[in-house]
Amino acid sequence: MRKLTAELFGTFVLVFAGTGAIIINEVSHGTVSHVGISLTFGLVVLALVYALGDVSGAHLNPAVTLGFFLARRFEARLILPYVLSQCAGALLASVLLRLLFPENGTLGATLPAGAPFQSFVLEVVLTLMLMFVILAVSTGAKEKGMMAGVAVGAVITLEALFAGPICGASMNPARSLAPALVSGNLGNLWVYLTAPFLGAVLSVPVFFYIHDRPDRTKSPARDG
pLDDT per position as a tens digit, 87-106: 999 999 999 999 999 999 99
Question: 96: part of which helix (H) or strand (E)?
Answer: helix 79-100
Domain spans, the chain: 2-215
What's the sign of the alpha-carbon dihedral 8, 179, 141, 72?
A: positive
Under 8 Å between Cβ of 45 and 156: yes
Average pLDDT rounded to a whole number, residues 107-132: 96
Look at residue 144 and tell me whether its pLDDT is greater than 80: no
Query: What local confidence, expressed as pLDDT, does residue 101 receive?
Result: 97
Kindly list the distances between the CA atom of residue 141 and the CA atoms of 13, 49, 60, 81, 169, in Å, as whole numbers in the listed order: 20, 12, 12, 15, 23
**Residue 183 confidence (pLDDT):** 95
Q: Which residues contact 180 (CB under 8 A, 6 or more apart)?
A: 109, 110, 186, 189, 192
CATH 1.20.200.10 for domain 2-215: no
Provide the CA 173 distance to its chain's centre, in angstroms.
Answer: 7
Q: From residue 182, give the alpha-carbon distance in Å to each of 36, 95, 130, 142.
A: 24, 7, 27, 31
pTM of the full structure = 0.89
- If DSSP codes are grouped into helix, strand and coil, which group holds residue 139? strand
- The predicted pLDDT at position 138 comes to 82
Closest CA relative to residue 171, chosen from 156, 161, 187: 156
At residue 132 the predicted structure's pLDDT band, cuts being 50, 70 and 90, is very high
Burial letters for 136-168: b for 16+ Cβ neighbours within 10 Å, e otherwise? ebbbbbbbbeeebbebbbebbbbbbbebbeebb
Distance of CA 32 to the CA centre of its chain: 21
Instruction: State the pLDDT at residue 119.
Output: 97
